[in-house]
Amino acid sequence: MRESHADVVVLGAGPAGEVLAGALGERGVETVLVEPRLVGGECSFYGCMPSKALLRPHELLEEVRRVPGVRELVQGEPDPQAVLDRRDEVIHELDDSVQLPWIEERDVRLMRGHGRIVGERLVEVVDGEGRVVERIAVRRAVALATGTRPALPPIPGLEDVDPWTNREATTADEVPGRLVVLGGGPIGAEMALAWSSLGATVTLLEGADRILLKEEPFASAQVTDGLRERGVDVRTGVRVAAAAREDGEVVVTLEGGEALRADELLVAAGRTPNSDGLGLDAVGVEPDPRGFVAVDDGLRVGGRDWLYAIGDVNGRALLTHQGKRQARVVAARLLEDQDAQLLGQEPDGLRSPRVTFTEPQVAAVGHTLQSALDAGLDAEAIDAPSDGTAGASFVGKGAGGTTRFVIDRSAGVLLGATFVGAGVAEQLHAATIAVAGRVPLHVLDASVPAFPTRTEVWLRLAARDGG
């Protein structure tokens, strides 16, 4: 076993770990990045990137189908093999070598293996055979960026079915004839649409009374309608009693006795943090009951100035851009950048900017009306049709969707916004700036959206009572 030293050790090379290691390395901090699998993490290979590659052709086709003059040019459905080939290109055939120059250019030392803490400022790296290959004495800090894995609900027979998780759902080489999706969160909704658009017959099962639970109820309803129009059988309020595989088929039995038969079952029922096996007990740290490693606003674990947790593993916001933001916050802290803004007013946790890439899309930031009211704020919703502007007419008739601005009447600021509609993802950032910056409503009113763009939906905010 080798003994070594480093200023900082980062465990996990997903988006959060990579950004932290890179930010430190390029400023001359001696940094070791430990990763047992693929540099780029879940997002690059089994998450954000392949899922969007699978969804984009359908989105584009839907838009073309709404626009006369070009809709006559397209017939039929996307070519599944071409879509899967493009997806493979996006994930570099699960080869992370393209990610390595970025790390090398920043003088970060990459170690392949599992990292674990064995004492204060002391990390061991274990290889695939369970051998300790290196012990690193850390001068400054250890950062945990180990992400999450799929959670399997305790359904009898589920494990024996060998279900798809996000890994198979984003990398499968063939379109299943019939797919049952368990869970109507962002993963379930996006993957149900993606595989349906490639020809699978999809049933989506959600235990709660609506999908996309964290979003405005109208967003759940409009995405449900969109999925159903595509032929996805969306069922809410359902309980799965058992799962089994019979003659190669998956049989999902619902409470009440109905049996659904499919070629594959995708479990998209939430995430389990990779906090086990990290040696946290060696330094007296206990994850929360769900396994997340709690942090303060400085991303420190238990107030320790040498231990940080960033990205999905801390449970604040399971989103790539938020993990990367947390990485920049920790880097600023470790580099002692005086002008570095730490987490403060910016939307975090459930209030983070977020986009579900369904058809229609849901792009949201900050509070929903209900969460603002629950927080005791003087909240009011201003609703408008997302396709009610001149700009929207060019995206095609019938694009539909609702936009909601949630304002704080007393403070005179925007608390949140939700845009539901075709291609609304790119409209979100103005709202993020307004919420993060607590831009006064009268300033937003005076910020004129260009004609004819869909951003004129903001004029509905300006036209509110007293606006």
Map the footprint of ligand FAD across residues 248-287, applying CB under 6 A: 274, 278
Number of residues that bind ligand FAD (CB under 6 A): 37
Q: Is 217 exposed, middle or buried (0-12, 13-18, 19+ CB in 10 A)?
A: middle
The nearest distance, CB 303 to ligand FAD, in angstroms, is 21
Contact 359, 193 (CB under 8 A): yes
With binding defined as CB under 6 A, does residue 35 bind ligand FAD? Answer: yes
41 binds ligand FAD (CB under 6 A): yes
User: Minimum Å distance from CB 275 to ligand NAD?
Assistant: 16
Q: Which does 10 bind (CB under 5 to 8 A by kind): ligand NAD, ligand FAD, none?
A: none
**Residue 153, binding choice from ligand FAD, ligand NAD, none, Cβ under 5 to 8 Å by partner class:** ligand NAD
Q: Can residue 148 be called a binding residue for ligand FAD (CB under 6 A)? A: yes
118 lies in the binding site for ligand NAD (CB under 6 A)? no
- Cα–Cα dist 57/199, whole Å: 13
Residue (186 or 366) nearer to ligand NAD, CB: 186
Whichever of 356 and 371 has its CB closer to ligand FAD, that residue is: 356
Partner that binds at residue 311, options ligand NAD, ligand FAD, none, CB closer than 5 to 8 Å by kind: ligand FAD
Nearer to ligand FAD, 180 or 382 (CB): 180
d(CA 272, CA 287): 12
The stretch near ligand FAD (CB under 6 A) out of 40-48, 334-342, 428-436, 452-460 is 40-48
Residue from 285, 318, 329, 407 touching ligand FAD (CB under 6 A): that is 318
6 binds ligand NAD (CB under 6 A): no
Which x/- pattern, by CB under 6 A, does the window 134-153 give for ligand NAD?
-------------------x
- Which of ligand FAD, ligand NAD, none lies near 185, with the C-beta cut-off 5 to 8 A by kind? ligand NAD
Q: Is 356 in the site for ligand NAD (CB under 6 A)?
A: yes
User: Which two three-digit tokens encode residue 248?
Assistant: 């190669």
Residue from the set 22, 57, 176, 185 that interacts with ligand NAD by CB under 6 A: 185
| Candidates 65-73, 111-119, 131-139, 262-270; binding stretch for ligand NAD (CB under 6 A) | 262-270
Distances (CA, A) of 40 to 113, 244, 276, 368, 399: 15, 34, 21, 32, 35
We find the least distance from the C-beta atom of residue 101 to ligand NAD, in angstroms, to be 27
Residue 27 makes contact with ligand FAD by CB under 6 A: no
- Residue 17 interacts with ligand FAD (CB under 6 A): yes or no: yes
Which tokens belong to 361? Answer: 């899309």
Residues forming contacts to ligand FAD in the complex (CB under 6 A) are 11-17, 34-38, 41-43, 47-48, 51, 114-115, 145-148, 166, 170, 187, 274, 278, 311-313, 318-321, 323
